[in-house]
Amino acid sequence: MAEKSLTLEMRGITKNFPGVLANDQVDFDLREGEIHALLGENGAGKSTLMNILYGLYQAEAGEIKIGTEALHLDSPRDAIRHGIGMVHQHFMLIPVFSVTENIMLGAETDHRAAPNDSPLVRLDRREVARRVQQLSQEYGLEVDPKAIVGDLPVGVQQRVEIVKALYRQARILILDEPTAVLTPQEADDLFRIVHKLTQRGVSVIFITHKLKEVLAIADRITVMRGGKVVGTTTPQETNENQLAAMMVGREVILKVEKSPAHPTSQVLEVDHLHVRDVRGLEAVRGISFNVRAGEILGIAGVQGNGQTELVEALTGLRRCESGTIKLQNHDLTGKTPRAFTETGLAHIPEDRQRHGLVLSYTIADNLVLCDYYKPPFGLRGVIQQQSLDSHARQLIQDFDIRTPSPYIATGKLSGGNQQKVIVARELSRPVQLVIANQPTRGLDVGSIEYIHKEIIAMRDRGVAVLLVSAELDEIMSLADRIAVIYHGQLVTTVNTTAVTREQLGLWMAGAQPETTA
């Protein structure tokens, strides 16, 4: 088999951010019609490299060539002109615009024979919509050009992004963590689309940190770690363990060690809960379940199926329309977040920087964010600095928070250490229930392992744990029981030992469990 010709070549790419060498002499190449996976942990430098290729960042050193032509990519405009398209992890779509408007944005007159540069040129929505329709049929990417993007499910939004790149005649398509928001079945659909694209000569760069995916889809795999390329290989020459070791730099135990659970009394009881989302739509539609002391209940589901609203309701941050929430036999429905905390709730929130921390505060202050008013920290309305200090020093030691001092602004810590501050604060309190929502999202493997261990330790101490995660692997390895959420309802609840990934994937996509199963 003859080597396909080289289309893209990146040599010696170097990029510095304040304090971080994000890309250090990185080499990367892409052949025509191939799927080249770029594998690495969060923070390994994959996205930086691709943002350089897409013209969003400028490299300090190195060169980029397509064929024999050297490229100067000062902005995405240059990249687009050279046939490079990118589907970002967080979609770059404007929710209030229609599909057509999103696709024509920045390329408003490209459909005309002679493009017009006047800023006041009239938008030709109808003609662009027609072309979008054509394109989507050609590639099997079904989208309604008139739909408002914000109303579309994420899977469809992703298709809009791909059509957007194709509309600009992309020959090189970068997909940044494209399966993060998809069910396993939707991911399979995406893989089919990607293969169709490569058959037509499009080259695809597939960024991910999921090992199974890489082995399933890639022609070649390049692994990055700490801003450097560790190596390039093919699925035939490697396996999961080897890739994991390349990614992390040491042997990784892919399985979390844990003994069987010994659940006892009921701690959390949720009964027919209904909750509305920000837009007033019903996001949680009649959910009932319970969590017992000494077990981990995992909630599996694709993002945006009501998990956020469910957790907010269970922590007092969002009003319930109807139904009841009981914690330790206290009815807490409609109570304030403080009532929940005082009844024994620890909450590791989904968005740690938005909810869990005040980034401008010191570590010491963040460690008492929920307890500042109680003795020994607050006495008769006055903050007791000595108690804060000793508390902070103790937790920094116990939870291995890497910091030179308790009086550093928390925003200056790494993501992993920020999450440790939250975990330290929440798990060091006398609690009966831990609700952890996406506790390891965006963290490095070391921090992930640490947080997993802490969560299991809590369970073994007889605490009830509710774990919400979009990472199926995380749920499978931590949870004792798994509840699957789809469209605001629980599809089913099963024991982890009695279920397969594929079965969970089907339920996450809305399939109904068979009554006899």
Partner 1 sequence: MQAAAEKPARGWFVRLWRAFVEAALVPILAIITAVIGGGIIIWVVGGNPFAAYLGLLQGAFGSTRAWSETFVWATPYIFAGLAVALAFKGGLFNIGAEGQLAFGALAAAWVGYALPNLLGVQLPGYIHLPLAILAGMLVGALWGAIPGALKAYAGGHEVINTIMMNYIALNLTSFLLNGPMKDKNPLNVIARTPEIAESARLLPIFANLRIHWGFPLALLTAFLVWYLLWKTTLGFEIRTAGSNPDAAKYAGINFKRILVLTMALSGLLAGLAGAVEVTGLNYRQELGFSIGYGFDAIAIALLGKTHPLGVVLSAILFAGMRNGATRMQFLTQIPVDIISVIQALILLFVAADAIVRKIYRIKAREDRLVLTRGWGG
Partner 2 sequence: MDWRRFSFIGIIIILLFGVVVLIGGEQISPLIIISSMLATTLSVATPLTLGALSGIFCERAGVVNIGIEGMMLAAAFFGWLASIYMNSIFEYSPAISLTIGVLAAILTGGLFALLHAWLSITFKVDQIIGGTVINILAIGVTGFLNRQLFFDKGSIFGGNVPHAPGLLPTLSKALTVLCSGAQGCGGLPSLIAGTIFDQKPVAISAILLVIVANYVLFNTRWGLRTRAVGEHPKAADTVGIDVRRVRYINVVIGGMLAGLAGAYFTIESVPSFEPLMTNGRGFIALAAMIFGNWTPFGAWAAALVFGASQALQINLQFFRESIPPAWAFLQQSYVVGLAPYILTMLILTGVIGKTTPPAADGQPYEK
Q: Which residues, listed in sequence order, are joined to residue 399 by a DSSP beta bridge?
A: none
* C-beta of residue 416 within 8 angstroms of C-beta of residue 330: no
Binding partner at 370 among partner 1, partner 2, none, C-beta below 5 to 8 Å by kind: partner 1
Binding partner at 488 among partner 1, partner 2, none, C-beta below 5 to 8 Å by kind: none
The candidate with the shortest Cα–Cα distance to 175, out of 275, 86, 274, is: 86
Binding partner at 101 among partner 2, partner 1, none, C-beta below 5 to 8 Å by kind: partner 2
Among 1, 19, 114, 122, binds partner 2 (CB under 8 A): 122
CB of 147 to partner 1, least distance (A): 26
Q: Which residues, listed in sequence order, are joined to residue 327 by a DSSP beta bridge?
A: 268, 330
**Chain Cα centroid distance, residue 234:** 26
Q: Is the dihedral of CA 361, 362, 367, 368 positive or negative?
A: negative
Q: Is 118 in the site for partner 2 (CB under 8 A)?
A: yes
CA distance 342 to 344: 5
CB of 110 to partner 2, least distance (A): 11
DSSP conformational letter for 177: S
Q: Is 134 in the site for partner 2 (CB under 8 A)?
A: no
Among 107, 147, 148, 359, binds partner 2 (CB under 8 A): 107
| Contact region with partner 2 (CB under 8 A), list: 98-106, 281-289, 445-453, 485-493 | 98-106
Binding partner at 265 among partner 1, partner 2, none, C-beta below 5 to 8 Å by kind: none
CA distance 483 to 298: 6
DSSP conformational letter for 405: -
Binding mask 149-178 for partner 2 (x = CB under 8 A): ---------------x--------------
Binding partner at 382 among partner 2, partner 1, none, C-beta below 5 to 8 Å by kind: partner 1
Q: Is 216 in the site for partner 2 (CB under 8 A)?
A: no
Residue type, 432: Q
Binding partner at 119 among partner 2, partner 1, none, C-beta below 5 to 8 Å by kind: partner 2
Residue 406 has φ and ψ, to the nearest 5°, of: -70, -10
* C-beta of residue 50 within 8 angstroms of C-beta of residue 205: yes
Q: Which segments of 279-432 are extended strands (E)?
A: 282-292, 296-300, 320-327, 330-331, 345-348, 378-379, 382-383
The candidate with the shortest Cα–Cα distance to 35, out of 235, 180, 211, 227, is: 235
CB of 15 to partner 2, least distance (A): 13
Instruction: Tell me which residues touch partner 1 (CB under 8 A).
Output: 315, 317, 336-338, 341, 347, 349, 351, 354-361, 365, 369-370, 372-373, 378, 381-383, 409, 411-412
Q: Is 77 in the site for partner 2 (CB under 8 A)?
A: yes
Q: Of 78-97, which residues contact partner 2 (CB under 8 A)?
A: 80, 86, 88, 91-97
| Residue 227 Cα distances to 46, 59, 239, 418, angstroms | 8, 13, 22, 21
Which residues in this chain contact partner 2 in the complex, by CB under 8 A? 54, 56-57, 75-77, 80, 86, 88, 91-97, 101, 104-109, 118-123, 164
